[in-house]
Amino acid sequence: MSISRRHLLLLLPAAAVAWKHVLAGTPESSPNYTMSQHWWGMLIDLPKCIGCGNCVRACQAENDVPDGYFRTWVERYHVSDYDIENPVVDSPDGGKKGFPPAKEESGKNFFVPKLCNHCVESPCTQVCPVGATFVSPDGVVLVDKQYCLGCRYCVQACPYGCRFINPKTDTAEKCTLCYHRITKGLTTACCENCPTGARQLADLKNPKDPIHEFLKTHSVQVLKPNMATHAKVFYAGLDGSVR
Protein backbone atom coordinates (compact mmCIF):
# COMPACT_ATOMS: atom_id res chain seq x y z
CA MET A 1 0.00 0.00 0.00
CA SER A 2 1.44 3.35 -0.99
CA ILE A 3 0.88 6.44 1.10
CA SER A 4 0.03 9.55 -0.84
CA ARG A 5 1.20 13.00 0.16
CA ARG A 6 -2.33 13.83 1.28
CA HIS A 7 -2.45 10.76 3.54
CA LEU A 8 0.92 11.64 5.00
CA LEU A 9 -0.24 15.16 5.82
CA LEU A 10 -3.21 13.68 7.63
CA LEU A 11 -1.18 11.04 9.46
CA LEU A 12 1.60 13.28 10.76
CA PRO A 13 -0.52 15.33 13.22
CA ALA A 14 -2.22 12.13 14.44
CA ALA A 15 1.20 10.53 15.02
CA ALA A 16 2.36 13.66 16.88
CA VAL A 17 -0.68 13.51 19.17
CA ALA A 18 -0.15 9.78 19.78
CA TRP A 19 3.56 10.31 20.55
CA LYS A 20 2.71 13.12 22.99
CA HIS A 21 0.30 10.72 24.69
CA VAL A 22 3.04 8.08 24.99
CA LEU A 23 5.54 10.58 26.38
CA ALA A 24 3.00 11.87 28.91
CA GLY A 25 3.56 8.75 31.00
CA THR A 26 7.37 9.01 30.95
CA PRO A 27 8.82 9.98 34.34
CA GLU A 28 11.33 12.76 34.73
CA SER A 29 14.74 11.22 33.98
CA SER A 30 17.33 10.66 36.71
CA PRO A 31 20.26 8.95 35.00
CA ASN A 32 22.07 7.81 38.15
CA TYR A 33 19.01 6.47 39.93
CA THR A 34 17.95 2.81 39.88
CA MET A 35 14.47 2.31 41.28
CA SER A 36 14.99 -1.34 42.19
CA GLN A 37 17.79 -0.38 44.62
CA HIS A 38 15.55 1.67 46.90
CA TRP A 39 12.54 1.17 49.15
CA TRP A 40 11.47 4.47 50.61
CA GLY A 41 9.75 5.26 53.88
CA MET A 42 10.03 7.80 56.65
CA LEU A 43 10.85 7.80 60.33
CA ILE A 44 9.20 10.29 62.66
CA ASP A 45 10.74 10.61 66.08
CA LEU A 46 7.78 12.18 67.88
CA PRO A 47 9.48 13.39 71.09
CA LYS A 48 11.68 15.57 68.87
CA CYS A 49 8.79 17.37 67.12
CA ILE A 50 8.30 20.92 68.46
CA GLY A 51 5.30 21.79 66.26
CA CYS A 52 7.08 24.68 64.51
CA GLY A 53 5.33 24.00 61.18
CA ASN A 54 8.55 24.32 59.14
CA CYS A 55 7.82 21.01 57.42
CA VAL A 56 4.34 22.16 56.34
CA ARG A 57 5.64 25.45 54.96
CA ALA A 58 8.57 23.77 53.18
CA CYS A 59 6.25 21.20 51.60
CA GLN A 60 3.83 23.86 50.39
CA ALA A 61 6.62 25.94 48.88
CA GLU A 62 8.40 22.98 47.29
CA ASN A 63 5.32 21.34 45.83
CA ASP A 64 3.08 24.34 45.11
CA VAL A 65 0.37 23.01 47.41
CA PRO A 66 -2.77 25.22 47.27
CA ASP A 67 -3.84 27.04 50.44
CA GLY A 68 -6.23 25.02 52.59
CA TYR A 69 -4.89 21.65 51.36
CA PHE A 70 -2.06 19.64 52.84
CA ARG A 71 0.44 17.04 51.69
CA THR A 72 1.76 17.09 55.24
CA TRP A 73 0.41 18.67 58.39
CA VAL A 74 1.03 18.68 62.13
CA GLU A 75 -1.55 17.80 64.80
CA ARG A 76 -1.35 18.75 68.46
CA TYR A 77 -2.75 16.23 70.92
CA HIS A 78 -3.86 16.98 74.43
CA VAL A 79 -4.48 13.81 76.42
CA SER A 80 -6.06 14.13 79.83
CA ASP A 81 -4.92 11.78 82.61
CA TYR A 82 -8.50 10.71 83.16
CA ASP A 83 -9.70 10.23 79.61
CA ILE A 84 -6.93 8.84 77.45
CA GLU A 85 -9.37 7.56 74.82
CA ASN A 86 -10.76 11.00 74.04
CA PRO A 87 -7.87 13.29 73.19
CA VAL A 88 -8.44 16.91 72.24
CA VAL A 89 -6.74 17.57 68.92
CA ASP A 90 -6.15 20.73 66.93
CA SER A 91 -4.26 21.59 63.78
CA PRO A 92 -4.90 25.25 62.91
CA ASP A 93 -4.19 25.66 59.18
CA GLY A 94 -2.42 22.30 59.29
CA GLY A 95 0.05 23.65 61.86
CA LYS A 96 1.62 25.76 59.10
CA LYS A 97 2.11 28.77 61.34
CA GLY A 98 2.85 26.81 64.50
CA PHE A 99 0.39 26.56 67.40
CA PRO A 100 -1.05 28.99 69.95
CA PRO A 101 -0.20 28.22 73.58
CA ALA A 102 -1.98 25.13 74.94
CA LYS A 103 -5.09 25.88 77.03
CA GLU A 104 -5.06 22.80 79.21
CA GLU A 105 -2.28 22.44 81.76
CA SER A 106 -3.01 18.98 83.13
CA GLY A 107 -2.35 15.85 81.14
CA LYS A 108 0.12 15.81 78.27
CA ASN A 109 0.54 17.71 75.01
CA PHE A 110 2.53 16.50 72.05
CA PHE A 111 2.77 17.00 68.28
CA VAL A 112 2.19 14.44 65.53
CA PRO A 113 3.31 15.22 61.99
CA LYS A 114 1.23 13.43 59.36
CA LEU A 115 1.80 12.63 55.70
CA CYS A 116 1.01 9.90 53.20
CA ASN A 117 2.10 6.60 54.72
CA HIS A 118 3.22 5.19 51.35
CA CYS A 119 1.48 1.93 52.21
CA VAL A 120 2.63 -1.26 50.55
CA GLU A 121 -1.00 -2.42 50.44
CA SER A 122 -2.39 1.02 49.78
CA PRO A 123 -6.20 1.22 49.66
CA CYS A 124 -6.00 4.30 47.42
CA THR A 125 -4.08 2.38 44.77
CA GLN A 126 -6.47 -0.54 45.03
CA VAL A 127 -9.57 1.53 44.29
CA CYS A 128 -8.30 3.80 41.48
CA PRO A 129 -10.49 2.81 38.51
CA VAL A 130 -7.85 3.51 35.86
CA GLY A 131 -4.58 2.86 37.70
CA ALA A 132 -3.62 6.54 37.78
CA THR A 133 -2.49 5.97 41.36
CA PHE A 134 0.28 3.41 41.65
CA VAL A 135 3.11 2.19 43.84
CA SER A 136 6.45 2.84 42.17
CA PRO A 137 9.09 0.05 42.16
CA ASP A 138 10.93 1.97 44.90
CA GLY A 139 7.89 1.97 47.17
CA VAL A 140 6.42 5.45 46.71
CA VAL A 141 2.69 5.90 46.10
CA LEU A 142 2.32 8.34 43.22
CA VAL A 143 -0.50 9.87 41.15
CA ASP A 144 -0.30 10.35 37.39
CA LYS A 145 -2.17 13.62 37.07
CA GLN A 146 -2.28 13.29 33.29
CA TYR A 147 -4.40 10.18 33.76
CA CYS A 148 -6.42 10.78 36.94
CA LEU A 149 -10.18 11.11 36.31
CA GLY A 150 -10.81 13.08 39.49
CA CYS A 151 -13.42 10.55 40.69
CA ARG A 152 -12.25 11.00 44.32
CA TYR A 153 -12.61 7.32 45.21
CA CYS A 154 -8.97 7.29 46.41
CA VAL A 155 -9.68 10.22 48.74
CA GLN A 156 -12.51 8.20 50.28
CA ALA A 157 -10.36 5.08 50.54
CA CYS A 158 -7.38 6.64 52.37
CA PRO A 159 -7.79 5.88 56.10
CA TYR A 160 -5.40 8.69 57.06
CA GLY A 161 -6.98 11.66 55.25
CA CYS A 162 -3.82 12.26 53.24
CA ARG A 163 -5.38 12.94 49.85
CA PHE A 164 -7.22 15.89 48.37
CA ILE A 165 -8.35 17.13 45.00
CA ASN A 166 -6.15 19.94 43.75
CA PRO A 167 -8.56 22.69 42.62
CA LYS A 168 -6.08 23.82 39.96
CA THR A 169 -5.74 20.45 38.24
CA ASP A 170 -8.99 18.74 39.38
CA THR A 171 -6.93 15.62 40.07
CA ALA A 172 -6.01 13.71 43.21
CA GLU A 173 -2.90 14.91 45.01
CA LYS A 174 -0.84 13.79 47.98
CA CYS A 175 2.70 13.57 49.34
CA THR A 176 5.10 12.16 46.73
CA LEU A 177 7.91 11.92 49.27
CA CYS A 178 9.43 14.66 47.09
CA TYR A 179 10.07 12.06 44.42
CA HIS A 180 11.65 14.70 42.19
CA ARG A 181 14.27 15.27 44.93
CA ILE A 182 14.92 11.82 46.32
CA THR A 183 15.64 10.38 42.88
CA LYS A 184 18.43 12.97 42.60
CA GLY A 185 20.02 12.00 45.89
CA LEU A 186 18.37 14.75 47.97
CA THR A 187 16.11 14.35 50.97
CA THR A 188 12.50 15.56 51.13
CA ALA A 189 11.70 19.25 51.68
CA CYS A 190 10.05 18.51 55.04
CA CYS A 191 13.02 16.49 56.34
CA GLU A 192 15.51 19.07 55.12
CA ASN A 193 13.68 21.86 56.95
CA CYS A 194 12.97 20.05 60.21
CA PRO A 195 15.10 21.90 62.80
CA THR A 196 15.20 19.01 65.28
CA GLY A 197 15.62 16.05 62.93
CA ALA A 198 12.24 14.65 63.95
CA ARG A 199 11.60 13.61 60.34
CA GLN A 200 14.08 11.33 58.61
CA LEU A 201 13.76 9.97 55.09
CA ALA A 202 14.50 6.25 55.18
CA ASP A 203 15.72 3.93 52.46
CA LEU A 204 14.90 0.48 53.75
CA LYS A 205 16.89 -1.22 51.00
CA ASN A 206 20.08 0.67 51.81
CA PRO A 207 21.96 -1.29 54.53
CA LYS A 208 23.90 1.85 55.49
CA ASP A 209 20.78 3.90 56.18
CA PRO A 210 20.59 4.87 59.90
CA ILE A 211 16.97 3.68 59.95
CA HIS A 212 18.16 0.10 60.47
CA GLU A 213 20.08 0.99 63.63
CA PHE A 214 17.14 3.05 64.86
CA LEU A 215 14.64 0.25 64.26
CA LYS A 216 16.88 -2.18 66.16
CA THR A 217 17.07 0.00 69.24
CA HIS A 218 13.66 1.71 69.42
CA SER A 219 10.02 0.75 69.59
CA VAL A 220 8.19 2.08 66.58
CA GLN A 221 4.59 1.96 65.48
CA VAL A 222 2.57 2.83 62.38
CA LEU A 223 -0.75 4.70 62.34
CA LYS A 224 -3.94 2.60 62.37
CA PRO A 225 -2.21 -0.80 62.22
CA ASN A 226 -5.67 -2.43 62.20
CA MET A 227 -6.09 -1.18 58.62
CA ALA A 228 -3.33 -3.61 57.54
CA THR A 229 -2.03 -1.23 54.89
CA HIS A 230 1.65 -1.99 55.63
CA ALA A 231 2.40 1.68 56.13
CA LYS A 232 6.02 2.78 55.72
CA VAL A 233 5.96 5.90 57.89
CA PHE A 234 7.27 4.71 61.25
CA TYR A 235 6.55 6.64 64.43
CA ALA A 236 8.84 6.42 67.44
CA GLY A 237 7.20 7.28 70.75
CA LEU A 238 3.67 7.12 69.36
CA ASP A 239 0.97 7.48 72.01
CA GLY A 240 -1.95 5.04 71.89
CA SER A 241 -4.43 7.91 71.70
CA VAL A 242 -3.23 9.03 68.26
CA ARG A 243 -5.61 8.32 65.38
Chain positions contacting other proteins, by CB under 8 A: 68-70, 73, 75, 87-91, 93-94, 114, 123, 125-131, 147-153, 155-165, 169-171, 227, 243
Q: Is the dihedral of CA 60, 63, 69, 71 positive or negative?
A: negative
At its nearest, how many Å lie between other proteins and the CB of residue 218? 25
CB of 196 to other proteins, least distance (A): 22
Nearer to other proteins, 38 or 164 (CB): 164
The nearer residue to other proteins, 42 or 155, going by C-beta atoms, is 155
What does the DSSP 8-state code read for residue 223?
A: S
Quote the least distance from Cβ 187 to other proteins, whole Å: 24
**29, 180 contact by CB (below 8 A):** no
Which one, 93 or 104, has the nearer CB to other proteins?
A: 93
The stretches of 81-199 forming alpha helices (DSSP H) are 123-127, 153-157, 179-182, 189-192
Q: Is 3 exposed, middle or buried (0-12, 13-18, 19+ CB in 10 A)?
A: exposed
CB of 208 to other proteins, least distance (A): 35
Name beta bridge partners: 108. Answer: 79
Q: Which is nearer to other proteins, 93 or 213 (CB)?
A: 93
